[in-house]
Amino acid sequence: MGLVSWLFVLPFATAIAVILTPAGMPKMVKKIALAGTSLHLALTAFVTYKFVQVAAFSGDAVKDALITHLYLVEKVPWFESLGIQYFVGLDGISMFMVILTSIVIFTGVLASWTVTERPKEFFALLLILVSGVFGVFVSFDLFLFFLFYEVAVLPMYLLIGIWGTGPKEYSAMKLTMMLMASSALILVGFLALYQGSGKETFDLIEISKVHFPIVFQNWVFPVIFIGFGVIGALYPFHTWSPDGHSSAPTAVSMLHAGVLMKLGGYGALRIGLYLLPEGAQNWALFFMGLTTINIIYGAFAAIKQKDLKFFTAYSSVSHCGFVLFGIVTLNMIGVKGAVIQMFSHGIMTALFFGLIGMVYGRTKTRIVTDMGGLAKVMPWLAVCFYIAGLASLGLPGLAGFIAESHIFLGGFVGNQWADATTMRILTVIATMSIVVTAVYVLRGLANVFQGPLKEQFKTLTDATLTEKISTGILVVTLAIVGMAPWYFIDLIEAAVYPMINRLGLTASNWMVF
């Protein structure tokens, strides 16, 4: 088995190891899960090293590429009669996302150190979920992609329904139903691509060599984009997110907002933009409008929230709007920005939810107005919270700025298919979110951490060692991406070129394949 397969096999194997642990050994379960995820972190580092060794990052071949070039590919026929193969590999974007997921699951396991109810099942489901996520990021066969997608989405129902808080059954059901409905759309889109390509294959790279007729692209693109948009919190299909996130247990919120929502942006990019460039051109402005609403609307709605998790969930709606916004700018800068935003939002929001879980574990309340002055008793958490908040309002030096500046510039640079003035106006509206974000972030943080310390909180303690490690890793990641972005941008740039180059092709150019 190749290196890439291990990326999702390892968490799955860890999940099985967790299931096979004898009952009544919760400590053991956690240790196994931690060992598995730390091993995975090391594996990811190794795979990244390998990837950087073999991948080409510059040169004319990279700049003019029309087909995504994959590295560390493993391809085995599976159901040959249906054109399904086991096809995994990595390009810069998937590598980047794999790094994100690996970090988030590691910190997520650390953050759920305090889970006491059925820890075995909890960690097993968590790990199965994450192996699905890894599978999505590395698979380049539509069938395999969808398979992993479902593996990633379904455990969420149980995780929220069993270990959640508040109206958990309602939230779990709502989330699952909406995501299932979107899966149906995605499946329709995939089958249409399978049929429409006329190649009888689910191989993404093979399909990408086909020029689909405009009419076909015009209806398949929105199906795919909305299908993935639901999980990427596209307005108005975002409402699963506040309920789901607020009911989910800490690690699940971290994973869901941090990684699972990225599947939306990733799919919209990898399948929507890459395979259906002309559909994207025709729909870009429409979706740009929708995502602008996302950005502003999420930010304004966050101002009014009293519950910390709702607050973060709405801010996620706003930030995930940036991802989709970046994709539909249809230019190099914007799409790069979307990918970086996926990463930075993933880390940032994982940090947010992790911290909220930690604060909630101590104060037993998530209502901001009930708290106050907590910086005095939990300085570490306060500092991390502030860093997360500052990253979310796009402070330079942290990852959020790199992403948002790319996206805003992308929106301003525009493309040749949409009206430049309209795009700029939309971008200006979107930039307004940086002020609104500042308002809600500062209001929220001031309510929680500043002001006089309430009597009942005087005895609370600061973060434990595991909590310090998990939040520390996330904070450092945010800072590294924010201060030394060039490594990461180099990583994804080569993968974004083909997506952008294809946009400029005319029908006759497609004959080159």
Partner 1 sequence: MNELANSFAFNNAWLIPALPFFSFLVVGLFIRPVSDKLAGIVATLSVATAAFLSIWLAFDYFSAFPAGAEHPGLISWSFEWLRYEEHLAVNVGVLVDSLSILLMVVVTFVSSLVHLYSIGYMKGEDGYGRYFTYLNLFTFSMLGLVVAPNILQTYVFWELVGVSSFLLIGFYYTKPSAVSASKKAFIVTRFADLFFLIGVLLIAVVGYNAMSMFGAPGSLPDNVSAFDFSYLTSSGVSIMMNNLGLLTPAMILIFIGAAGKSALFPLHIWLPDAMEGPTPVSALIHAATMVVAGVYLVARLFMPFAASGTALLVAGYVGAFTCLFAAVIACTQDDIKRVLAYSTLSQIGYMIFALGVASATETLGYTASLFHLFTHAFFKALLFLGAGAVIHAVHTNNIWNMGGLAKKMPITNITFLIATLAISGVWPFAGFFSKDEIIASAFGTHHYVIFAVGLLVAGITAFYMFRIYIVTFLGKARSEAVNKAHEAPMTMTIPLIILAALSAVAGFVHFGDFVSVGAESGHAEGGFPIWIPALLSGLSGIAIAWFIYAGNSERSKALTERLGAIYRVIYAKFYIDEIYLFVTHKIIFRFISAPIAWFDKRIVDGGVDLTGWMTRRGGAVFSRLQTGQAQTYTTWMVNGVIAVAVLIWIFVS
Where on the chain is the footprint of partner 1 (CB under 8 A)?
A: 173-174, 177-178, 235-236, 238-240, 242-243, 297, 300-301, 303-305, 332-333, 336, 373, 375-376, 390, 393-397, 401-402, 405-406, 408-409, 412-413, 427-428, 431-432, 434-435, 438-439, 442-443, 446, 449-453, 485-486, 489
Give the whole-angstrom CA distance, residue 273 versus residue 339.
13
What does the DSSP 8-state code read for residue 75? E
Closer residue to partner 1 in complex, CB, 197/312: 312
What does the DSSP 8-state code read for residue 74? E
Closer residue to partner 1 in complex, CB, 21/305: 305
Q: Minimum distance between the CB of residue 326 and partner 1, rounded to whole angstroms?
A: 12
Q: Minimum distance between the CB of residue 237 and partner 1, rounded to whole angstroms?
A: 8
Closer residue to partner 1 in complex, CB, 62/453: 453
Q: What are phi and psi of 77, to 5 degrees?
A: -65, 145
Task: Assess contact for 403 and 337: CB atoms under 8 A.
Answer: yes
Crossing angle for the helix pair 3-20 and 26-54, to the nearest 10 degrees: 180
Closer residue to partner 1 in complex, CB, 61/483: 483
Give the whole-angstrom CA distance, residue 294 versus residue 478.
24
Q: Which two tokens stand for residue 296?
A: 């502003």
Burial of 50 (0-12, 13-18, 19+ CB in 10 A): middle
Q: Which two tokens stand for residue 88?
A: 């995994």
Q: Minimum distance between the CB of residue 22 and partner 1, rounded to whole angstroms?
A: 41
Closer residue to partner 1 in complex, CB, 78/300: 300
CA-closest candidate to residue 377, choices 475, 452, 445: 452
Closer residue to partner 1 in complex, CB, 256/406: 406
Task: Assess contact for 142 and 272: CB atoms under 8 A.
Answer: no
Q: Minimum distance between the CB of residue 173 and partner 1, rounded to whole angstroms?
A: 8
Closer residue to partner 1 in complex, CB, 211/336: 336
Q: Minimum distance between the CB of residue 456 and partner 1, rounded to whole angstroms?
A: 16
Closer residue to partner 1 in complex, CB, 145/297: 297
Amino acid type, 386: Y
Give the whole-angstrom CA distance, residue 304 versus residue 301.
6
Q: Minimum distance between the CB of residue 409 and partner 1, rounded to whole angstroms?
A: 6
Closer residue to partner 1 in complex, CB, 31/454: 454
Q: Minimum distance between the CB of residue 400 and partner 1, rounded to whole angstroms?
A: 11
Task: Assess contact for 257 and 315: CB atoms under 8 A.
Answer: no
Q: Which two tokens stand for residue 189?
A: 């889109």
What does the DSSP 8-state code read for residue 77? E
CA-closest candidate to residue 194, choices 291, 28, 83, 48: 83
Helices (H) and strands (E) in the chain, counts: 23, 2
Closer residue to partner 1 in complex, CB, 187/438: 438
Q: Minimum distance between the CB of residue 232 and partner 1, rounded to whole angstroms?
A: 16
Task: Assess contact for 471 and 380: CB atoms under 8 A.
Answer: yes
211: Cα within 13 Å, side-chain hemisphere? 15
Q: Minimum distance between the CB of residue 162 and partner 1, rounded to whole angstroms?
A: 20
Give the whole-angstrom CA distance, residue 289 versus residue 294.
9
Q: Minimum distance between the CB of residue 14 and partner 1, rounded to whole angstroms?
A: 33
